[in-house]
Amino acid sequence: MKKTMLCVLLAVSVLLSAFAANREFAIQGNSGVSLDKAIDIALAHAGASDSDVTITKTQSDFDDGIPVWEIDFIANGQIYEYEILATNGGIHQYSGKLTNMYFNGGFGQTKKINKENAKSIALEHAGLTNLPVRIVKAKIDNDDGIKIWEVDFIANNAKYEYDILASDGSVLEYSVEEIRTATGIVFNN
């Protein structure tokens, strides 16, 4: 009985190890997009060069069954998180936020940026000033005594979320996520 149980546990362990290895191999071997290529795509999109970047995470993963490369790095005073499609190198989603060393917000600040300014700043940062967008949310929030505009909008088949410092209009954090339709993924910037 003990030998049988030990054999079963050993077999399950071997199968789980093989599955994990095949999962990694499936992304690397069959994708056509290597980890190095995915890093190059993320860095180019962020406007960062190899010499100015500290990579903090690289791993293969699946997002809703879609194989992706997860790449996190620090560059230009921001922390970036990217998911690059392992199948074709498209950008699945990305986000960026200011690192603490570049943020000089304070308590009790007065609101200087209004709602329209905040929306304009977000659209300009996203490069969407001349495209139709649908604003989903534009509201002021108080985050630990710091006034922040939260601006969310939809454009180019993607959802954009921005946090903008109300005192000076600095983009503190942003994210972009594709919107999937019944016909598949439509965002691939």
pLDDT per position as a tens digit, 63-86: 889 999 999 998 888 889 999 999
Proportion of the chain above pLDDT 90, given as a percent: 48
Average predicted confidence (pLDDT) for the chain: 79
pLDDT score of 182: 63
| pTM for the structure as a whole | 0.60
> Is the torsion defined by CA of 72, 123, 185, 34 positive or negative?
negative
Higher pLDDT residue, 139 or 99? Answer: 139
- 127 three-class SS: coil
> Is the torsion defined by CA of 32, 37, 43, 45 positive or negative?
negative
pLDDT band at 16 (very low <50, low <70, confident <90, very high): very low
Higher pLDDT residue, 12 or 36? Answer: 36
d(Cα 7, Cα 28) in Å, to the nearest integer? 31
Average pLDDT, integer, range 132-158 = 90
Average pLDDT, integer, range 30-39 = 84
* Residue linked to tokens 């095949």: 22
d(Cα 55, Cα 39) in Å, to the nearest integer? 9
**CB distance 172 to 97 below 8 Å:** yes
